Amino acid sequence: ARAGQNTISVTGNVLRDYLTDLFPIIELGTSAKMLSIVPLLAGGCLLETGAGGSAPKHVQQFVEEGHLRWDSLGEYLATAIAFEELAARTGNSAATSLGVTLMAAVAGVLNN
């Protein structure tokens, strides 16, 4: 990655999972409402949220109930932040509006 080649780098994922998934699951019972923002060395950022539980729990619920236990709220939060980041970098007013509106919608869900 440092040589400028198109490579995929994986570092610190276990620590990141431990900090951003384990503690929210212990405290809130889910990681789906937790947003992890990881700044990248060359600029930009990685926006990630949990899926609301661990893979074994997803499989267990799918086998028992026929559906996945997916909570997309964190994904909407990450998307709102992505729009805000895009607006900050480009001055795009449409991205600003989308980010603000989506963030307000997420807040509305969390507050009610």
Report pLDDT digits (tens) over 57-93. 777 888 899 887 667 787 888 899 999 999 999 999 9
Is 72 within the bounds of a domain? yes
Is 76 within the bounds of a domain? yes
Would you say 74 and 33 are in contact if contact means Cβ atoms under 8 Å apart? yes
Is 1 within the bounds of a domain? no
Provide the mean pLDDT of the chain: 78
Give the predicted TM-score (pTM) of the model: 0.62
Is 3 within the bounds of a domain? no
> What single letter denotes the amino acid at residue 105?
A
Radius of gyration, alpha carbons of the chain:
16
Into how many domains does the chain fold?
1
Is 43 within the bounds of a domain? yes
DSSP-assigned beta bridge partners for residue 47 = 37
Is 6 within the bounds of a domain? no
The answer to whether the Cα torsion of 96, 99, 105, 106 is positive or negative is negative
Q: For helices 93-111 and 73-90, what crossing angle results, to 10°?
A: 150
DSSP-assigned beta bridge partners for residue 37 = 47
Q: Which domain holds residue 89?
A: 13-111
Is 2 within the bounds of a domain? no
